[in-house]
Structure 1
């Protein structure tokens, strides 16, 4: 077997079974659970004979947890999959056969069938005028379904572990672009993305606050890393002042929105100050 599937989870008990049930049992699966939940590990390993569950002990974030799986996998190819992404019967087989045919690539991605927004894009907007007909090269792909050619990542060392959440896959693709490695979309390989449901409903507010904090932190960090501090300030400064205004407006009228904009303000401020991406839900 040349492919290992890696799935990073965090309080994903409500959806992981559906994701795993769609994967052919002939493929080894490594689930990286961002907690110390022994019951979760025992349950999915007993239900799915092809699954090995690794407990990190604490929430390491998307990139760092995926890096653990990527380094543990012994196969030539690794398919990173979010727990809220569902493969079809032939998705992995189609990706694998295209990998064997193309050979010289760093990343492949299936096409998403249930969202209006594509799961790929271009850093140079002039490339956007084309038709999807066959395998074609793109500049970046979204992180919920990424098919890795492991040997191509020796130079850039997988995900940037400074990023806890958001833009880690765009950063990865940007670094691949710098060294002229190839990223392809495979239209024949299909995937369904449920989106925003990788944790239980009871955690929705805390996770929304966390997402807003990390989106703002990562936004400035990514742009500073690739385009310089001045450009990063230009891109984010309006978000900063808008967050202050929204916090003031919602303080007495809508506590939920107040906490969301407070999270945005805090995430961006800490990124401005050069602080690490420290916010964690459920401390």
Structure 2
């Protein structure tokens, strides 16, 4: 019997310890698919890159180094260039994750049995083993102005409860970007990630374009992984600003200019009313009021390594 081929793509940026744990969990848990692991080093320090070379000696692992930080979308698309073109599925997995179950085999089996699935994700837990919200709603004026509770009541099929513990696969608007398992043919059809997104909103954009191409997104809750995000998070204005750059780029792609104007007012007020808690919110409100210009993206601060 021919096993399904899964190309697993990880991005490393000055975090080789996380990458080691992630790769080891993949090797330990993955049993019933043929897989390869492609590590894209996104212009880390020399020391961090060198530390990856020992794990890259494993027969399943390929290590690539980019001379410039390409961000999330760009780094993953670089990994795709080195993936086996015969792959049935791509699995874009954050390097600060570890698998709790045989996620690749579970998700591949689900996709095999679900022809309209273009993208699916496993159930996320935090480092303490607490179940986390693993999917969200695509941003619309209705959900922002009326609230998620109201739109859930109006259309529970499109807006399933995010905090519910599911035991069966469920169709969702999008899954969190820490674990994106994609049908390769669907991913290739839409041209992969939009590399204009540097750090955020990639998963919403991906799910939106797949939906337009006739493919749905699912959560498969019996597949489980741990995401060690936010263990020591410090607020950073430039990173927070990057979120709104990507978000308003998404709005420019999919919403009319009157809707974009209302989104700008909504997010301006949302941040501005919290400025007393942290001056960053006031700065973000002003940035949004200026139109969240893409020219201020961190993408344009990257330099090419000699």
What TM-score does the superposition give when structure 1 sets the normalisation length?
A: 0.80
Per the alignment, residue 30 of structure 1 pairs with: 38
Task: Find the partner of 2:134 among 108, 119, 126.
Answer: 119
Matches of 1:44 and 1:94, distance apart in 2 = 28
Q: Does 1:100 align with 2:112?
A: yes
Task: Find the partner of 1:39 among 44, 47, 65.
Answer: 47
Report the CA distance shift for 1:191/1:246 in structure 2 as closer, same or farther (over 3 A). closer
Q: Does 1:191 align with 2:203?
A: no
Q: Which structure 1 residue ranges, 5 or more long, are not aligned? A: 251-256
Q: CA deviation at 1:85?
A: 1.6
Task: Find the partner of 1:275 among 295, 298, 302.
Answer: 295
1:168-187, CA deviations, whole angstroms, 9 ceiling, x for partnerless residues?
11011111112221222212
1:35-87, CA deviations, whole angstroms, 9 ceiling, x for partnerless residues?
15443333223135132221111211111111111232112211111112211
SS in 2 for 1:154: helix
Matches of 2:274 and 2:137, distance apart in 1 = 32
Task: Find the partner of 1:110 among 104, 122, 134.
Answer: 122
CA RMSD of aligned residues (A): 3.1
Given that 2:26 and 2:99 are in contact with CA atoms closer than 8 Å, whether structure 1 keeps it comes out as yes
1:129-144 correspondence runs (5 A): 129=160, 132-144=166-178
Per the alignment, residue 166 of structure 1 pairs with: 200
SS in 2 for 1:183: strand
**Which contiguous aligned blocks of 4+ residues in structure 1 show a shift greater than 6 angstroms?**
244-247, 280-283
1:237-282, CA deviations, whole angstroms, 9 ceiling, x for partnerless residues?
35446767877x69xxxxxx54x34763575366445636345678
More divergent stretch after superposition (184-193 vs 98-107): 98-107
SS in 2 for 1:70: helix
Task: Find the partner of 1:66 among 48, 68, 76.
Answer: 76
Per the alignment, residue 209 of structure 1 pairs with: 237
Per the alignment, residue 254 of structure 1 pairs with: none
1:164-214, CA deviations, whole angstroms, 9 ceiling, x for partnerless residues?
1111110111111122212222122111111135xxx6xx65x72332110
Per the alignment, residue 157 of structure 1 pairs with: 191
Matches of 1:269 and 1:228, distance apart in 2 = 17
Matches of 1:66 and 1:271, distance apart in 2 = 28
Q: Does 1:90 align with 2:102?
A: yes
Per the alignment, residue 5 of structure 2 pairs with: 2
SS in 2 for 1:134: coil
Task: Find the partner of 1:181 among 201, 208, 215.
Answer: 215
Task: Find the partner of 1:15 among 12, 18, 23.
Answer: 18
1:92-132, CA deviations, whole angstroms, 9 ceiling, x for partnerless residues?
22122223333442112111234565212344741235773
Given that 1:217 and 1:270 are in contact with CA atoms closer than 8 Å, whether structure 2 keeps it comes out as no
Report the CA distance shift for 1:133/1:61 in structure 2 as closer, same or farther (over 3 A). same
More divergent stretch after superposition (34-43 vs 237-246): 237-246
Q: CA deviation at 1:136?
A: 2.4
Report the CA distance shift for 1:18/1:133 in structure 2 as closer, same or farther (over 3 A). closer
Matches of 1:82 and 1:268, distance apart in 2 = 28
What TM-score does the superposition give when structure 2 sets the normalisation length?
A: 0.75
Given that 1:6 and 1:79 are in contact with CA atoms closer than 8 Å, whether structure 2 keeps it comes out as yes
SS in 2 for 1:28: strand
Matches of 1:222 and 1:246, distance apart in 2 = 24
SS in 1 for 2:182: strand
